[in-house]
Chains A and B, each alone.
Chain A
């Protein structure tokens, strides 16, 4: 009798737990207006009154507030970003190219590369006319110059710069993540950037375009079949050291998609 009771209890508990698992797996969030979106290590959480909370690449929380509106309580001044951002300083070339994709290059007021580096016409011309300032190399930024150009936001990959930027009461966002970005995160990063400029529609179009290009690459390779696979590594060579992209990075994914063999596929880590 006791054994029957025991088996029945076990069955009931198992059934309850597995139904919870099954139904849990079936729950879908509202894709059209999700209250929370996670892109790699970044995330966006919608707040009341058209505000949003974003988690940057280093896990810092910042709040986006429509221009002219009072910010929600509980945030430091240098963690509040007024949107749309009108003046932005950008460290990374990749982030500048996202600005171009979002059609907001006119908001760019400062960069950390000299004019000769840029292949984007608008940036080179902007630097020539003085509209875009060179604020020094990323490891030697002139913070007085940065303050003088009065940006609304600084997008940086350099965590070390954040404390100085915050000291100037300028909000700063870290655009790289501890773990290397995968291809999906790299593509959808534009959707994070779009929030600063109210360009969500442009970002969605851009992501769809890049996704279709990636699909095209995949299709070309799958049509040609798996013949000879070129061995590829992707990295930066420094004195006495070579830093490579790990197997979980977008670079490794792209090599594999294009029919190559990424030699550090077994390595997991940061960029």
Chain B
């Protein structure tokens, strides 16, 4: 690296830059919190439109409400670069000083914090990939005993049965007769392959690279206006999901290593590390 590159590298990895970026992120998020109040509708389509399409439509139409979000992107990008440079510096330094460590577990566990930092970058990258490249089919409404094709695929979905549990109790009277648990049995057909799956609130499932999530259902009340039973699904093909699961796993590994370092390798009284 020549001198100017070294300077840039050093500036990008500086802890002062980290503090500045974190402070600005806090300010930006505070502004975002105020701006978001009452304008949640603008951000909801981000879930199924994808980032580029959303920027070209809602993002550009309401710049006053969305500019904090763009700034957050810039800040998170700078924070990721800063974290990468700073962590890489530390990792190289650690490798260079390997000879000062008396045993390998102690040396190995010293990487725990750095692994967590790399994991954070991986998680952020996963989210970015998700917002850029995920294919989402939102509001797939399926009535009981009906078949619906998932657009752009050969997957046919049939709602076999829908069971809804309604709240009954004295403690929360106002929730009486309101749906509290839902379970839908689906039959998925792709070519000659048939699979039965069950979906519920917070219980999605995978089928052929697609994740299926329950978005809505009816009837939500046992009494009141009678609705015919149906479910609404969100079907998603998200290449970023693997990245942020991998990042979470890596973060967990780093955290366990850090705990090991903390509990097992505490220096005894009077011992030098």
Identify the A interface with B (CB < 8 A): 2, 6, 9-10, 13-14, 17, 20-21, 24-27, 29, 34, 36-38, 40-41, 43, 45, 55, 58-60, 76, 139, 158-164, 166-167, 178-179, 236, 238-241, 243
Contacts and interface: CB of A to CB of B under 8 A. Distances in A.
A65 B60 CA distance: 25
B221 A241 contact: yes
B58 A38 contact: yes
B258 interface: no
A155 to B, nearest CB: 15
Interface residues of A: mostly helix, strand, loop or mixed? Answer: mixed
A36 B20 contact: no
B64 A24 contact: yes
Interface in B60-98: 60-64, 66-68, 70-71, 74-75
Given A24-B66, A38-B41, A164-B146, 17 more contacts: A9-B17, A17-B28, A17-B75, A24-B64, A40-B41, A45-B57, A58-B232, A59-B45, A59-B139, A139-B226, A139-B227, A159-B141, A160-B229, A163-B143, A166-B148, A167-B146, A240-B177
Contacts of B57: 36, 38, 43, 45
B271 to A, nearest CB: 36
Contacts of B28: 17
B111 interface: no
12 contacts: A10-B20, A14-B24, A17-B28, A24-B66, A27-B60, A36-B56, A38-B41, A158-B227, A159-B216, A163-B146, A238-B223, A241-B221
Nearest to A9: B20
Contact of A58 (B62, B141, B143): B141
Contacts of A179: 41
B138 interface: yes
A160 B227 contact: yes
Contacts of B216: 159, 178
A160 B71 CA distance: 41
Interface string B219-248: 001011111111010000000000000000
B232 A25 contact: no
Scoring A25, A34, A45, A239 by chain B CB atoms within 10 A of each residue's CB, the highest score goes to A25
B71 A17 contact: yes
Nearest to A159: B141
B269 interface: no
B48 interface: yes
A141 B252 CA distance: 54
B89 to A, nearest CB: 18
B151 A25 contact: no
Contacts of A178: 216
A36 B41 CA distance: 15
B129 interface: no
A41 B142 CA distance: 22
Nearest to B78: A13
What 5 pairs between A and B have smallest CB-CB spacing? A24-B67, A241-B224, A24-B63, A160-B230, A238-B224
A13 B27 CA distance: 13
B218 interface: yes
A161 B141 CA distance: 9
B272 interface: no
B70 A160 contact: no
